Structure 1
Amino acid sequence: MAGRKQRHPHLTTSAISPLRQARQAIPATLEQVCHALERRGHPGVSAGMLSAWETGRHVTSLRYRKVLCEFYGRPPTQLFAHQDRKLTGTAETPRLLVGHHDLSDAMIDVVQRAQNYLVVLGSRSRDEVYLRAIETVLAARAELVHYRVLFGPPRHQVLKDHLLRLLELRDPHDRSRGLKTLHIGMIDDDPGTPERFLCASESCAVVPVPSVTSAEAFDSGVLFAAGVAERYVDHARQCYAAARKIETAHAVRALPAVRSWTETTAPIPADRR
Protein backbone atom coordinates (compact mmCIF):
# COMPACT_ATOMS: atom_id res chain seq x y z
CA MET A 1 0.00 0.00 0.00
CA ALA A 2 2.87 2.31 -0.88
CA GLY A 3 2.07 5.88 -1.55
CA ARG A 4 3.60 9.30 -1.32
CA LYS A 5 4.47 10.18 2.22
CA GLN A 6 2.42 13.13 3.40
CA ARG A 7 4.34 16.20 4.52
CA HIS A 8 3.40 18.37 7.47
CA PRO A 9 5.82 21.35 7.39
CA HIS A 10 4.44 22.89 10.58
CA LEU A 11 5.11 19.79 12.68
CA THR A 12 8.52 18.72 13.89
CA THR A 13 9.32 15.00 14.05
CA SER A 14 8.88 14.99 17.83
CA ALA A 15 5.49 16.69 17.50
CA ILE A 16 4.06 14.09 15.13
CA SER A 17 1.89 11.65 17.03
CA PRO A 18 2.76 7.94 17.21
CA LEU A 19 -0.47 7.21 15.32
CA ARG A 20 0.62 9.39 12.42
CA GLN A 21 4.16 8.03 12.55
CA ALA A 22 2.79 4.50 12.22
CA ARG A 23 0.90 5.46 9.06
CA GLN A 24 3.83 7.34 7.57
CA ALA A 25 6.12 4.38 8.23
CA ILE A 26 4.12 2.21 5.79
CA PRO A 27 4.02 4.74 3.98
CA ALA A 28 0.33 5.40 3.27
CA THR A 29 -2.03 8.32 2.83
CA LEU A 30 -5.06 8.83 5.04
CA GLU A 31 -7.31 7.67 2.20
CA GLN A 32 -5.27 4.52 1.63
CA VAL A 33 -5.56 3.50 5.28
CA CYS A 34 -9.33 4.11 5.24
CA HIS A 35 -9.74 1.96 2.12
CA ALA A 36 -7.60 -0.80 3.64
CA LEU A 37 -9.70 -0.80 6.81
CA GLU A 38 -12.88 -1.01 4.74
CA ARG A 39 -11.51 -4.03 2.85
CA ARG A 40 -10.84 -5.67 6.22
CA GLY A 41 -14.47 -5.22 7.23
CA HIS A 42 -14.22 -1.95 9.14
CA PRO A 43 -16.05 0.70 7.09
CA GLY A 44 -17.00 4.14 8.32
CA VAL A 45 -13.55 5.63 8.96
CA SER A 46 -13.03 8.78 6.87
CA ALA A 47 -9.78 10.57 6.12
CA GLY A 48 -10.94 13.51 8.26
CA MET A 49 -11.74 11.22 11.19
CA LEU A 50 -8.36 9.50 10.97
CA SER A 51 -6.58 12.87 10.78
CA ALA A 52 -8.45 14.09 13.87
CA TRP A 53 -7.35 10.97 15.75
CA GLU A 54 -3.75 11.50 14.67
CA THR A 55 -3.66 15.11 15.82
CA GLY A 56 -5.53 14.37 19.06
CA ARG A 57 -8.45 16.66 18.20
CA HIS A 58 -10.75 13.67 18.68
CA VAL A 59 -10.32 10.63 20.91
CA THR A 60 -10.40 7.21 19.26
CA SER A 61 -13.07 4.86 20.62
CA LEU A 62 -12.15 1.48 22.11
CA ARG A 63 -13.52 -0.25 19.01
CA TYR A 64 -11.29 1.62 16.60
CA ARG A 65 -8.31 1.53 18.93
CA LYS A 66 -8.42 -2.24 18.62
CA VAL A 67 -8.84 -2.03 14.84
CA LEU A 68 -5.89 0.33 14.41
CA CYS A 69 -3.66 -1.63 16.79
CA GLU A 70 -4.26 -4.75 14.72
CA PHE A 71 -3.74 -2.83 11.49
CA TYR A 72 -0.44 -1.19 12.50
CA GLY A 73 0.76 -4.02 14.73
CA ARG A 74 1.47 -1.71 17.65
CA PRO A 75 0.09 -1.55 21.23
CA PRO A 76 -2.52 1.02 22.31
CA THR A 77 -0.20 2.48 24.94
CA GLN A 78 2.05 3.55 22.08
CA LEU A 79 -0.41 4.54 19.36
CA PHE A 80 -2.76 6.58 21.53
CA ALA A 81 -0.42 8.04 24.14
CA HIS A 82 -0.84 11.54 22.66
CA GLN A 83 -4.62 11.39 23.14
CA ASP A 84 -4.47 10.04 26.69
CA ARG A 85 -1.85 12.56 27.84
CA LYS A 86 -4.01 15.40 26.57
CA LEU A 87 -6.99 14.11 28.55
CA THR A 88 -5.16 13.57 31.84
CA GLY A 89 -3.08 16.73 31.50
CA THR A 90 -5.99 19.16 31.37
CA ALA A 91 -5.67 22.12 33.70
CA GLU A 92 -9.41 22.56 34.00
CA THR A 93 -10.99 22.22 37.43
CA PRO A 94 -14.51 20.75 37.40
CA ARG A 95 -17.15 22.29 39.66
CA LEU A 96 -19.51 20.28 41.82
CA LEU A 97 -23.15 21.30 41.44
CA VAL A 98 -25.29 20.70 44.52
CA GLY A 99 -28.94 21.54 44.69
CA HIS A 100 -31.73 21.25 42.17
CA HIS A 101 -31.60 24.90 41.10
CA ASP A 102 -27.83 24.92 40.51
CA LEU A 103 -28.02 21.74 38.46
CA SER A 104 -31.02 23.01 36.51
CA ASP A 105 -29.45 26.38 35.77
CA ALA A 106 -26.17 24.79 34.68
CA MET A 107 -27.82 22.42 32.22
CA ILE A 108 -29.94 25.16 30.69
CA ASP A 109 -26.81 27.31 30.44
CA VAL A 110 -25.07 24.54 28.48
CA VAL A 111 -28.00 24.51 26.07
CA GLN A 112 -28.16 28.28 25.64
CA ARG A 113 -24.41 28.67 25.09
CA ALA A 114 -24.19 25.95 22.42
CA GLN A 115 -23.07 27.36 19.07
CA ASN A 116 -21.72 24.38 17.12
CA TYR A 117 -22.80 21.23 18.93
CA LEU A 118 -25.38 20.27 21.53
CA VAL A 119 -25.41 16.67 22.71
CA VAL A 120 -27.75 15.03 25.22
CA LEU A 121 -27.63 11.43 26.42
CA GLY A 122 -30.31 9.70 28.46
CA SER A 123 -33.91 8.50 28.33
CA ARG A 124 -35.34 10.00 31.53
CA SER A 125 -35.78 13.69 30.68
CA ARG A 126 -39.10 14.98 31.97
CA ASP A 127 -38.56 18.67 32.71
CA GLU A 128 -40.44 20.67 30.10
CA VAL A 129 -38.55 23.92 30.79
CA TYR A 130 -35.24 22.21 29.96
CA LEU A 131 -36.67 20.44 26.90
CA ARG A 132 -38.25 23.64 25.60
CA ALA A 133 -34.91 25.41 26.01
CA ILE A 134 -33.36 22.84 23.67
CA GLU A 135 -36.12 23.39 21.13
CA THR A 136 -35.77 27.17 21.33
CA VAL A 137 -32.03 27.05 20.70
CA LEU A 138 -32.40 24.66 17.77
CA ALA A 139 -35.07 26.88 16.22
CA ALA A 140 -32.87 29.96 16.56
CA ARG A 141 -29.57 28.41 15.38
CA ALA A 142 -30.15 26.49 12.17
CA GLU A 143 -26.55 25.26 11.89
CA LEU A 144 -26.32 23.99 15.47
CA VAL A 145 -25.76 20.22 15.28
CA HIS A 146 -27.80 18.26 17.82
CA TYR A 147 -27.33 14.69 19.03
CA ARG A 148 -29.92 13.00 21.27
CA VAL A 149 -29.08 9.42 22.18
CA LEU A 150 -31.54 7.37 24.22
CA PHE A 151 -30.69 4.32 26.28
CA GLY A 152 -33.84 2.29 25.95
CA PRO A 153 -37.21 3.92 25.16
CA PRO A 154 -38.29 7.25 26.72
CA ARG A 155 -39.25 6.84 30.38
CA HIS A 156 -41.75 9.69 30.17
CA GLN A 157 -44.28 10.88 27.60
CA VAL A 158 -42.90 14.43 27.75
CA LEU A 159 -39.60 13.20 26.30
CA LYS A 160 -41.40 11.38 23.51
CA ASP A 161 -43.34 14.56 22.73
CA HIS A 162 -40.05 16.49 22.73
CA LEU A 163 -38.56 14.13 20.14
CA LEU A 164 -41.56 14.67 17.90
CA ARG A 165 -41.14 18.43 18.20
CA LEU A 166 -37.47 18.11 17.25
CA LEU A 167 -38.52 16.33 14.08
CA GLU A 168 -40.92 19.17 13.32
CA LEU A 169 -38.07 21.65 13.70
CA ARG A 170 -35.46 19.69 11.75
CA ASP A 171 -35.37 17.01 9.08
CA PRO A 172 -32.55 14.55 9.93
CA HIS A 173 -32.25 13.73 6.23
CA ASP A 174 -31.79 17.35 5.15
CA ARG A 175 -28.31 18.28 3.92
CA SER A 176 -29.11 21.76 2.58
CA ARG A 177 -26.56 23.30 4.96
CA GLY A 178 -23.88 20.84 3.96
CA LEU A 179 -24.23 18.55 6.96
CA LYS A 180 -26.76 16.68 9.02
CA THR A 181 -27.96 18.83 11.92
CA LEU A 182 -30.26 16.45 13.83
CA HIS A 183 -29.24 13.00 15.05
CA ILE A 184 -31.60 10.85 17.13
CA GLY A 185 -30.69 7.30 18.06
CA MET A 186 -31.42 4.69 20.70
CA ILE A 187 -29.17 2.11 22.30
CA ASP A 188 -31.62 -0.73 22.87
CA ASP A 189 -31.97 -2.03 26.43
CA ASP A 190 -28.91 -4.17 27.09
CA PRO A 191 -27.58 -5.15 30.53
CA GLY A 192 -24.08 -4.83 29.11
CA THR A 193 -24.58 -1.20 28.06
CA PRO A 194 -25.24 1.05 31.06
CA GLU A 195 -27.39 4.12 30.56
CA ARG A 196 -25.48 7.39 30.44
CA PHE A 197 -26.62 10.91 31.22
CA LEU A 198 -25.02 14.17 30.15
CA CYS A 199 -25.60 17.46 28.40
CA ALA A 200 -22.69 19.04 26.55
CA SER A 201 -21.76 21.66 24.00
CA GLU A 202 -18.36 22.58 22.61
CA SER A 203 -17.81 24.99 25.52
CA CYS A 204 -19.11 23.23 28.65
CA ALA A 205 -20.74 20.04 29.90
CA VAL A 206 -22.84 18.90 32.83
CA VAL A 207 -22.73 15.28 33.94
CA PRO A 208 -25.26 14.27 36.63
CA VAL A 209 -23.86 12.22 39.50
CA PRO A 210 -25.53 10.41 42.42
CA SER A 211 -27.00 12.92 44.82
CA VAL A 212 -24.77 14.13 47.62
CA THR A 213 -27.83 15.21 49.64
CA SER A 214 -30.14 12.18 49.67
CA ALA A 215 -30.77 8.83 48.05
CA GLU A 216 -34.03 10.01 46.48
CA ALA A 217 -32.99 13.33 44.95
CA PHE A 218 -31.67 14.15 41.50
CA ASP A 219 -29.81 17.31 42.42
CA SER A 220 -26.08 16.85 41.92
CA GLY A 221 -23.72 17.03 38.98
CA VAL A 222 -20.30 18.07 37.76
CA LEU A 223 -19.68 21.05 35.47
CA PHE A 224 -16.75 20.76 33.04
CA ALA A 225 -15.18 23.43 30.83
CA ALA A 226 -14.36 23.29 27.12
CA GLY A 227 -11.52 20.75 27.07
CA VAL A 228 -13.55 17.97 28.68
CA ALA A 229 -16.79 19.12 27.03
CA GLU A 230 -15.32 18.56 23.56
CA ARG A 231 -14.52 14.98 24.57
CA TYR A 232 -18.10 14.43 25.67
CA VAL A 233 -19.26 15.66 22.26
CA ASP A 234 -17.05 12.92 20.79
CA HIS A 235 -18.52 10.46 23.28
CA ALA A 236 -22.02 11.28 22.05
CA ARG A 237 -20.97 10.90 18.41
CA GLN A 238 -19.64 7.44 19.16
CA CYS A 239 -22.83 6.48 21.01
CA TYR A 240 -24.91 7.69 18.08
CA ALA A 241 -22.81 5.67 15.63
CA ALA A 242 -23.66 2.54 17.62
CA ALA A 243 -27.32 3.44 18.07
CA ARG A 244 -30.43 2.42 16.19
CA LYS A 245 -31.62 5.49 14.33
CA ILE A 246 -35.00 6.91 15.45
CA GLU A 247 -35.34 9.71 12.93
CA THR A 248 -38.92 9.70 11.67
CA ALA A 249 -42.14 10.65 13.43
CA HIS A 250 -43.41 7.12 12.81
CA ALA A 251 -40.36 5.61 14.52
CA VAL A 252 -40.73 7.90 17.53
CA ARG A 253 -44.47 7.26 17.90
CA ALA A 254 -43.76 3.51 17.85
CA LEU A 255 -41.57 3.84 20.95
CA PRO A 256 -43.28 2.96 24.22
CA ALA A 257 -43.29 5.59 26.95
CA VAL A 258 -42.67 3.70 30.15
CA ARG A 259 -44.12 6.36 32.46
CA SER A 260 -45.85 9.70 32.12
CA TRP A 261 -45.46 12.91 34.03
CA THR A 262 -48.80 12.46 35.78
CA GLU A 263 -47.81 8.99 37.00
CA THR A 264 -45.11 10.55 39.20
CA THR A 265 -46.69 10.80 42.64
CA ALA A 266 -43.67 11.62 44.80
CA PRO A 267 -42.20 15.15 44.80
CA ILE A 268 -38.91 14.09 43.21
CA PRO A 269 -36.72 16.94 41.90
CA ALA A 270 -37.03 17.37 38.12
CA ASP A 271 -34.88 14.97 36.15
CA ARG A 272 -33.15 16.90 33.40
CA ARG A 273 -31.12 14.17 31.81
Structure 2
Amino acid sequence: MAGRKHRTTWPTTDAVSPLRLVRQGIPATLEQVCHALERRGHPGVSASMLSAWETGRHVTSLRYRKVLCEFYGRPAKDLFAHQDQRLTGAAETPRLLVGHHDLSDAMIDVVQRAQHYLVVLGSRSRDEAYLRTIETVLAARDELVHYRVLFGPPRHQVLADHLLRLLEIRDPHDRSHGLKTLHIGIIEDDPGTPERFFCASESAAIVPVPSVTSAEAFDSGVAFAAGVAERYVDHARQCYAAARKLETARAVRAFPAVRGWPEDTEPAPADRR
Protein backbone atom coordinates (compact mmCIF):
# COMPACT_ATOMS: atom_id res chain seq x y z
CA MET A 1 0.00 0.00 0.00
CA ALA A 2 1.11 3.51 -0.72
CA GLY A 3 3.75 4.85 1.62
CA ARG A 4 4.32 1.56 3.48
CA LYS A 5 6.85 -1.21 2.99
CA HIS A 6 4.37 -4.01 3.23
CA ARG A 7 4.26 -7.04 0.96
CA THR A 8 0.87 -8.21 -0.22
CA THR A 9 -0.15 -11.75 0.62
CA TRP A 10 -2.04 -12.26 -2.63
CA PRO A 11 -0.52 -14.80 -5.04
CA THR A 12 1.33 -13.28 -7.96
CA THR A 13 0.80 -14.12 -11.60
CA ASP A 14 2.65 -13.47 -14.84
CA ALA A 15 -0.61 -13.00 -16.76
CA VAL A 16 -1.41 -9.47 -17.90
CA SER A 17 -4.85 -8.38 -16.68
CA PRO A 18 -7.61 -7.31 -19.09
CA LEU A 19 -7.53 -3.88 -17.44
CA ARG A 20 -3.89 -3.44 -18.43
CA LEU A 21 -4.34 -4.97 -21.86
CA VAL A 22 -7.12 -2.57 -22.80
CA ARG A 23 -4.97 0.41 -21.78
CA GLN A 24 -1.97 -0.89 -23.69
CA GLY A 25 -4.19 -1.46 -26.70
CA ILE A 26 -5.04 2.26 -27.02
CA PRO A 27 -2.00 2.64 -26.48
CA ALA A 28 -1.71 4.93 -23.44
CA THR A 29 0.53 5.26 -20.41
CA LEU A 30 -0.80 5.19 -16.87
CA GLU A 31 -0.24 8.92 -16.62
CA GLN A 32 -2.09 9.61 -19.87
CA VAL A 33 -5.16 7.69 -18.68
CA CYS A 34 -5.13 9.57 -15.36
CA HIS A 35 -4.96 12.93 -17.13
CA ALA A 36 -7.78 11.90 -19.48
CA LEU A 37 -9.97 10.89 -16.53
CA GLU A 38 -9.28 14.21 -14.82
CA ARG A 39 -10.32 16.11 -17.95
CA ARG A 40 -13.58 14.14 -17.92
CA GLY A 41 -14.30 15.27 -14.38
CA HIS A 42 -12.84 12.34 -12.43
CA PRO A 43 -9.76 13.64 -10.57
CA GLY A 44 -7.96 11.73 -7.86
CA VAL A 45 -6.77 8.68 -9.80
CA SER A 46 -2.98 8.43 -9.68
CA ALA A 47 -0.69 6.31 -11.83
CA SER A 48 0.22 4.15 -8.84
CA MET A 49 -3.48 3.62 -8.02
CA LEU A 50 -4.29 2.62 -11.59
CA SER A 51 -1.31 0.25 -11.64
CA ALA A 52 -2.49 -1.39 -8.42
CA TRP A 53 -5.92 -1.94 -9.97
CA GLU A 54 -4.36 -3.44 -13.08
CA THR A 55 -2.24 -5.91 -11.11
CA GLY A 56 -5.04 -6.75 -8.68
CA ARG A 57 -3.12 -5.53 -5.63
CA HIS A 58 -6.09 -3.27 -4.86
CA VAL A 59 -9.76 -3.78 -5.70
CA THR A 60 -11.37 -1.02 -7.76
CA SER A 61 -14.38 0.56 -6.05
CA LEU A 62 -17.81 0.50 -7.70
CA ARG A 63 -17.50 4.20 -8.46
CA TYR A 64 -14.26 3.83 -10.39
CA ARG A 65 -15.33 0.59 -12.02
CA LYS A 66 -18.14 2.55 -13.63
CA VAL A 67 -15.74 5.35 -14.62
CA LEU A 68 -13.25 2.95 -16.23
CA CYS A 69 -15.97 0.93 -17.97
CA GLU A 70 -17.24 4.13 -19.59
CA PHE A 71 -13.73 5.28 -20.42
CA TYR A 72 -12.62 2.02 -22.06
CA GLY A 73 -16.04 1.05 -23.41
CA ARG A 74 -15.90 -2.43 -21.88
CA PRO A 75 -18.13 -4.22 -19.31
CA ALA A 76 -17.02 -4.71 -15.72
CA LYS A 77 -17.05 -8.51 -16.00
CA ASP A 78 -14.29 -8.21 -18.61
CA LEU A 79 -12.15 -5.51 -17.04
CA PHE A 80 -12.21 -6.62 -13.40
CA ALA A 81 -12.40 -10.41 -13.52
CA HIS A 82 -8.77 -10.66 -12.35
CA GLN A 83 -9.62 -8.80 -9.14
CA ASP A 84 -12.78 -10.75 -8.36
CA GLN A 85 -11.15 -14.14 -9.03
CA ARG A 86 -8.46 -13.35 -6.51
CA LEU A 87 -11.05 -12.47 -3.91
CA THR A 88 -13.00 -15.71 -4.35
CA GLY A 89 -9.84 -17.78 -4.74
CA ALA A 90 -8.14 -16.73 -1.52
CA ALA A 91 -6.62 -19.80 0.13
CA GLU A 92 -8.06 -18.96 3.54
CA THR A 93 -10.66 -20.58 5.75
CA PRO A 94 -12.75 -18.07 7.74
CA ARG A 95 -13.20 -18.89 11.43
CA LEU A 96 -16.54 -18.52 13.18
CA LEU A 97 -16.51 -16.77 16.56
CA VAL A 98 -19.38 -17.55 18.93
CA GLY A 99 -19.89 -15.87 22.29
CA HIS A 100 -19.32 -12.24 23.19
CA HIS A 101 -16.08 -13.03 25.06
CA ASP A 102 -14.55 -14.77 22.06
CA LEU A 103 -15.68 -11.98 19.76
CA SER A 104 -14.34 -9.24 22.01
CA ASP A 105 -11.06 -11.08 22.65
CA ALA A 106 -10.54 -11.60 18.91
CA MET A 107 -11.05 -7.90 18.19
CA ILE A 108 -8.63 -6.91 20.93
CA ASP A 109 -6.11 -9.39 19.52
CA VAL A 110 -6.36 -7.76 16.07
CA VAL A 111 -5.64 -4.38 17.68
CA GLN A 112 -2.68 -5.65 19.67
CA ARG A 113 -1.08 -7.35 16.67
CA ALA A 114 -1.50 -4.48 14.20
CA GLN A 115 1.83 -3.23 12.89
CA HIS A 116 1.07 -1.18 9.76
CA TYR A 117 -2.68 -0.49 9.62
CA LEU A 118 -5.56 -0.59 12.08
CA VAL A 119 -9.06 0.21 10.79
CA VAL A 120 -12.32 0.31 12.75
CA LEU A 121 -15.77 1.03 11.35
CA GLY A 122 -18.93 1.67 13.37
CA SER A 123 -20.53 4.17 15.73
CA ARG A 124 -21.77 1.98 18.58
CA SER A 125 -18.61 1.00 20.44
CA ARG A 126 -18.89 1.13 24.21
CA ASP A 127 -16.50 -1.60 25.35
CA GLU A 128 -13.98 0.49 27.27
CA ALA A 129 -11.35 -2.27 27.42
CA TYR A 130 -11.37 -2.56 23.64
CA LEU A 131 -11.23 1.21 23.12
CA ARG A 132 -8.45 1.63 25.66
CA THR A 133 -6.45 -1.08 23.91
CA ILE A 134 -6.66 0.91 20.67
CA GLU A 135 -5.39 4.00 22.49
CA THR A 136 -2.54 2.12 24.13
CA VAL A 137 -1.40 0.58 20.86
CA LEU A 138 -1.52 3.89 18.99
CA ALA A 139 0.48 5.59 21.72
CA ALA A 140 3.13 2.86 21.61
CA ARG A 141 3.40 2.54 17.79
CA ASP A 142 3.58 6.03 16.36
CA GLU A 143 3.89 4.82 12.75
CA LEU A 144 0.76 2.66 12.91
CA VAL A 145 -1.83 4.17 10.55
CA HIS A 146 -5.31 4.27 12.07
CA TYR A 147 -8.67 4.78 10.36
CA ARG A 148 -11.86 5.23 12.38
CA VAL A 149 -14.99 5.75 10.28
CA LEU A 150 -18.32 6.45 11.96
CA PHE A 151 -21.75 5.90 10.44
CA GLY A 152 -23.71 8.66 12.06
CA PRO A 153 -22.70 10.27 15.38
CA PRO A 154 -21.35 8.21 18.31
CA ARG A 155 -24.19 6.35 20.01
CA HIS A 156 -22.45 6.34 23.40
CA GLN A 157 -20.40 8.87 25.32
CA VAL A 158 -17.55 6.41 25.82
CA LEU A 159 -16.96 6.42 22.05
CA ALA A 160 -17.04 10.23 21.86
CA ASP A 161 -14.52 10.33 24.73
CA HIS A 162 -12.39 7.78 22.87
CA LEU A 163 -12.29 10.00 19.79
CA LEU A 164 -11.10 12.93 21.90
CA ARG A 165 -8.34 10.78 23.40
CA LEU A 166 -7.25 9.71 19.92
CA LEU A 167 -6.85 13.37 19.01
CA GLU A 168 -4.73 13.88 22.13
CA ILE A 169 -2.50 10.95 21.19
CA ARG A 170 -2.15 11.86 17.50
CA ASP A 171 -2.39 15.00 15.39
CA PRO A 172 -4.21 14.11 12.16
CA HIS A 173 -2.32 16.88 10.40
CA ASP A 174 1.13 15.63 11.42
CA ARG A 175 3.33 14.27 8.63
CA SER A 176 6.55 13.67 10.59
CA HIS A 177 6.60 10.03 9.44
CA GLY A 178 6.05 10.99 5.84
CA LEU A 179 2.31 10.29 5.83
CA LYS A 180 -0.84 10.89 7.82
CA THR A 181 -1.28 8.37 10.63
CA LEU A 182 -4.70 9.28 12.08
CA HIS A 183 -7.85 9.41 9.95
CA ILE A 184 -11.26 10.03 11.54
CA GLY A 185 -14.34 10.52 9.40
CA ILE A 186 -18.10 10.25 9.55
CA ILE A 187 -20.58 9.02 6.99
CA GLU A 188 -23.65 11.08 7.78
CA ASP A 189 -26.92 9.30 8.60
CA ASP A 190 -28.34 8.23 5.26
CA PRO A 191 -30.90 5.46 4.66
CA GLY A 192 -29.07 4.61 1.47
CA THR A 193 -25.74 4.01 3.22
CA PRO A 194 -25.89 1.03 5.59
CA GLU A 195 -23.80 1.16 8.74
CA ARG A 196 -20.83 -1.20 8.74
CA PHE A 197 -18.91 -2.77 11.60
CA PHE A 198 -15.50 -4.40 11.48
CA CYS A 199 -12.02 -4.23 12.90
CA ALA A 200 -9.03 -5.07 10.71
CA SER A 201 -5.28 -4.83 10.43
CA GLU A 202 -2.96 -5.87 7.61
CA SER A 203 -2.93 -9.43 8.96
CA ALA A 204 -6.43 -10.17 10.34
CA ALA A 205 -10.02 -8.94 10.32
CA ILE A 206 -13.03 -9.52 12.56
CA VAL A 207 -16.46 -8.91 11.07
CA PRO A 208 -19.51 -9.21 13.39
CA VAL A 209 -22.42 -11.17 11.91
CA PRO A 210 -25.98 -11.88 13.10
CA SER A 211 -25.91 -14.09 16.17
CA VAL A 212 -25.98 -17.85 15.69
CA THR A 213 -27.18 -18.31 19.29
CA SER A 214 -30.02 -15.87 19.87
CA ALA A 215 -32.17 -13.30 18.10
CA GLU A 216 -31.55 -10.91 21.00
CA ALA A 217 -27.75 -11.20 21.04
CA PHE A 218 -25.00 -9.87 18.86
CA ASP A 219 -22.26 -12.25 19.91
CA SER A 220 -20.98 -13.81 16.70
CA GLY A 221 -18.40 -12.89 14.12
CA VAL A 222 -16.13 -14.18 11.41
CA ALA A 223 -12.34 -14.00 11.55
CA PHE A 224 -10.37 -13.62 8.33
CA ALA A 225 -6.64 -13.91 7.70
CA ALA A 226 -4.30 -11.54 5.86
CA GLY A 227 -5.56 -11.75 2.28
CA VAL A 228 -9.13 -10.76 3.08
CA ALA A 229 -8.01 -8.43 5.89
CA GLU A 230 -6.04 -6.30 3.44
CA ARG A 231 -9.21 -5.87 1.40
CA TYR A 232 -11.07 -4.67 4.48
CA VAL A 233 -8.30 -2.14 5.10
CA ASP A 234 -8.88 -0.94 1.55
CA HIS A 235 -12.65 -0.86 2.23
CA ALA A 236 -12.07 1.42 5.22
CA ARG A 237 -9.81 3.72 3.23
CA GLN A 238 -12.51 4.11 0.58
CA CYS A 239 -15.12 4.86 3.27
CA TYR A 240 -12.83 7.48 4.78
CA ALA A 241 -12.33 9.10 1.38
CA ALA A 242 -16.11 9.54 1.12
CA ALA A 243 -16.53 10.69 4.72
CA ARG A 244 -16.71 14.11 6.28
CA LYS A 245 -13.48 14.59 8.18
CA LEU A 246 -13.85 14.68 11.95
CA GLU A 247 -10.34 15.56 13.03
CA THR A 248 -10.55 18.30 15.63
CA ALA A 249 -11.72 18.20 19.23
CA ARG A 250 -14.16 20.98 18.39
CA ALA A 251 -15.80 18.83 15.70
CA VAL A 252 -16.18 15.91 18.10
CA ARG A 253 -17.59 18.08 20.87
CA ALA A 254 -20.12 19.52 18.43
CA PHE A 255 -22.10 16.28 18.60
CA PRO A 256 -25.14 16.47 20.89
CA ALA A 257 -24.80 14.76 24.24
CA VAL A 258 -25.07 11.01 23.87
CA ARG A 259 -26.20 8.41 26.32
CA GLY A 260 -24.01 6.17 28.40
CA TRP A 261 -25.00 2.81 29.81
CA PRO A 262 -25.97 2.02 33.40
CA GLU A 263 -23.06 1.15 35.65
CA ASP A 264 -24.73 -2.07 36.77
CA THR A 265 -25.31 -3.28 33.20
CA GLU A 266 -22.64 -5.11 31.26
CA PRO A 267 -22.12 -3.59 27.81
CA ALA A 268 -24.10 -5.54 25.26
CA PRO A 269 -22.05 -7.74 22.91
CA ALA A 270 -23.66 -5.88 20.01
CA ASP A 271 -21.73 -2.78 21.01
CA ARG A 272 -18.24 -4.25 21.07
CA ARG A 273 -17.30 -2.52 17.83
TM-score (norm. length: structure 1)? 0.92
- Tell me the distance in 2 between the aligned counterparts of 1:257 and 1:121: 21
Could you tell me which runs of 5 or more consecutive residues in structure 2 were left unpaired when the two chains were aligned. 1-11
Identify the residue that residue 227 of structure 1 maps to in structure 2: 227
- RMSD after superposition: 1.7
Could you tell me which runs of 5 or more consecutive residues in structure 1 were left unpaired when the two chains were aligned. 1-10
Identify the residue that residue 109 of structure 1 maps to in structure 2: 109
- Tell me the distance in 2 between the aligned counterparts of 1:92 and 1:247: 36
Kept after mapping to 2: 8 A contact 1:154/1:256: no
Cα distance, 1:197 vs structure 2: 0.2
Cα distance, 1:214 vs structure 2: 1.4
Kept after mapping to 2: 8 A contact 1:154/1:257: no
Identify the residue that residue 8 of structure 1 maps to in structure 2: none
Identify the residue that residue 203 of structure 1 maps to in structure 2: 203
The 5 A counterparts of 1:108-257 are 108-257=108-257
* Paired amino acid for 1:190: D
Identify the residue that residue 46 of structure 1 maps to in structure 2: 46
* Paired amino acid for 1:153: P
- Tell me the distance in 1 between the aligned counterparts of 2:257 and 2:219: 24
Kept after mapping to 1: 8 A contact 2:22/2:72: yes
Cα distance, 1:45 vs structure 2: 1.0
Q: Percent sequence identity over matched residues?
A: 87
Inter-CA distance 267–252: structure 2 relative to 1 (3 Å threshold): closer
- Tell me the distance in 1 between the aligned counterparts of 2:108 and 2:192: 31
Cα distance, 1:47 vs structure 2: 1.3
Cα distance, 1:35 vs structure 2: 1.4
Kept after mapping to 1: 8 A contact 2:148/2:184: yes
Name the SS of the counterpart of 2:206 in structure 1. Answer: strand
Kept after mapping to 2: 8 A contact 1:69/1:75: yes
* Paired amino acid for 1:141: R
Deviations 1:115-163 (A, max 9, x none): 1100000000001100011011111111111000000000000000000
Identify the residue that residue 6 of structure 2 maps to in structure 1: none
Deviations 1:160-182 (A, max 9, x none): 00001111111111111111111
Cα distance, 1:270 vs structure 2: 6.3
Moved more, 39-48 or 179-188: 39-48
Identify the residue that residue 84 of structure 2 maps to in structure 1: 84
Inter-CA distance 163–267: structure 2 relative to 1 (3 Å threshold): closer
- Tell me the distance in 1 between the aligned counterparts of 2:92 and 2:57: 17
Name the SS of the counterpart of 2:240 in structure 1. Answer: helix
- Tell me the distance in 1 between the aligned counterparts of 2:129 and 2:107: 11
- Structure 1 segments, 4+ long, off by >6 Å, are none
- Tell me the distance in 2 between the aligned counterparts of 1:154 and 1:211: 23
- Tell me the distance in 1 between the aligned counterparts of 2:203 and 2:102: 18
Moved more, 146-155 or 168-177: 168-177
* Paired amino acid for 1:53: W
* Paired amino acid for 1:133: T
Kept after mapping to 2: 8 A contact 1:155/1:257: no
- Tell me the distance in 1 between the aligned counterparts of 2:66 and 2:142: 37
- Tell me the distance in 2 between the aligned counterparts of 1:136 and 1:217: 29
Kept after mapping to 2: 8 A contact 1:30/1:50: yes
